[in-house]
Amino acid sequence: MAKLTTRVVALAVALAGAASACTGTTGSEIVSFEAFASGPADLPPDTATRGLSFTNGSGWSITLTRARLHIGAVYLNRSAPISGGQERQCFLPGIYVAQVTTGMDVDALSPALQRFPAPGSGTADHAVTGEVWLTGGRIDEPEDRRTIADVAGTATRGGESMRFEGTVTIGTNRKNRDVDPARPGAKPLCAERIVSPIATSITPTNGGALVVRVDPRAWFANVDLGELEPVSSESDLRRIPDEAEPPAADNLYRGLRGATGVYRFEWID
């Protein structure tokens, strides 16, 4: 009761509190922002017409003339996954800070900002990781025939040169064949479509802009184009299969899904 008595005495002070009834906040803020995607910022503006030249980890000097990526959605998260490689869940309600839910095709050879069709939204909370969703339909649909990546270019190594092209989809062709019957949902297909965790440090603000930089050079980091077969004996064109074999195709797919070095989030106030 003594404590209660103290509270009653405090009621005099509370007059000020009552007077300020209509003020205050519950914390944080709902924000909306523009969203853009582009190729690396360090590319010359005419890269899309001249091509992007680089040498990959397999010794191939590659000139990319086409590198288009379909981004289904972008999310920023307030928390980072616990290291240790627990099974991947497609999404965890409650961790998201910002979202861009309308997808677009990005020319990854252009450093120019390409606007997403609809603005993003979120809360003014600090994000430490991000996700890029590479999907054309709903993230958990068993099939998706949307072309996620479309690449073409030329490559030389030693005296060998070639043209190459390829597309990547993420549907049943990426379904995990090695299923543990006790844990059939441990590696869901939806997890194949989510690139995460992409480290970042962003606090969205109202009226700002989120930029997703995509570096196509990293897609080819471990792609040994020499593993590819020519489409015909007379042609120097080699097509990258849209499947897990040969390893070059799988490495391109893994390169697309790389959480480090491939995607970068920037915030423009």
Partner 1 sequence: MLDPRAIAARVREPKISMKFNTSSKFRFINPSIVRRSSVLSRILLLAPAAFALAFAQPARGDEPPPEPPPSDAKGAKEKEADDHQHEDATVTVRGRVPAPSRGASDFNLRVGELSRVPRQNAADLLKLAPGILLTNKGGDGHAEQVFLRGFDAREGQDIEFTAGGVPINEAGNLHGNGYADLHFIIPELVEGLRVIEGPFDPRQGNFAVAGSAAYDLGLTRRGLTAKYTHGSFATRRMLLLWGPTRESTHTFAGAELFDTDGFGQNRGAKRGSAMGQYEGRLGRNGSWRIGAQAYTSQYKSAGVVRADDVASERIGFYDTYDRRQGGDSSRYSVWGDIETKSGDTLLKQQLFFIMRDMRLRENFTGFLLDVQQAQQNPHVQRGDLLDLHVDSQTLGARGSARWRTKALDQTQELELGYFARADRTASSQHRIDQSGAPYLTETDLDSRLGNIGIYGDAGLRPFSWLTFRGGARGDIFTYDVLDACAQRSVRKPSAANPPGDQSCLSQQDDPATGGVRYREPHDRRGTASIAVMPRGSVLIGPFTGFTASVSLGKGIRSIDPVYINQDLPTPFANVEAGELGVSYARGVGDVELMARSIFFQTHVDRDLIFSETAGRATLANGTTRTGWVGAVRATGPWFDQAANVTFVRSTFDDTHLLVPYVPDVVVRSDTAIHHELPFRADGEKLTGALASGITYVGRRALPFGQRSDEIFTVDASASVAWRMFEVALVATNLLDRRYRLSEFNYASDFRTAQQPTLVPGRHFAAGAPRGLFLTLTATLGGT
Between CA 88 and CA 25 the distance in angstroms is 36
Query: Would you say 10 or 112 has its CB closer to partner 1?
Result: 10
Q: Does 183 bind partner 1 (CB under 8 A)?
A: yes
The site map against partner 1 for 136-165 (x = CB under 8 A) is --xxxxx-----------------------
- The one among 33, 133, 164, 219 contacting partner 1 by CB under 8 A: 133
Closest CB 75 distance from partner 1, rounded Å: 6
Under rule CB under 8 A, residue 91 binds partner 1: yes
- Candidate list 55, 61, 79, 121; residue touching partner 1; CB under 8 A: 121
Residues in contact with partner 1, shown as a per-residue x/- string from 184 to 223 under the rule CB under 8 A: xxx-xxx---------------------------------
Q: Which residue, 23 or 233, has its beta carbon nearer to partner 1? A: 23
- Burial grade of 202 (CB within 10 A; 0-12, 13-18, 19 or more): buried
Number of residues that bind partner 1 (CB under 8 A): 62
CA dist., res. 104 & res. 115, Å (int): 9
223 near 203, Cβ under 8 Å? no
Q: Is 128 in the site for partner 1 (CB under 8 A)?
A: no
Residue of 87, 229, 236, 243 that binds partner 1 (CB under 8 A) = 87
Taking CB under 8 A as the binding criterion, the range among 14-22, 36-44, 145-153, 260-268 that sits at the site for partner 1 is 14-22
Residues ≥6 apart with Cβ < 8 Å to 35: 74, 100, 115, 116, 119, 120, 209, 210, 211, 212
From residue 243, alpha-carbon distances to 13, 15, 47, 157, 216 in Å are: 71, 70, 29, 24, 19
Give 10-24 as a DSSP string. Answer: THHHHHHHHHTTT--
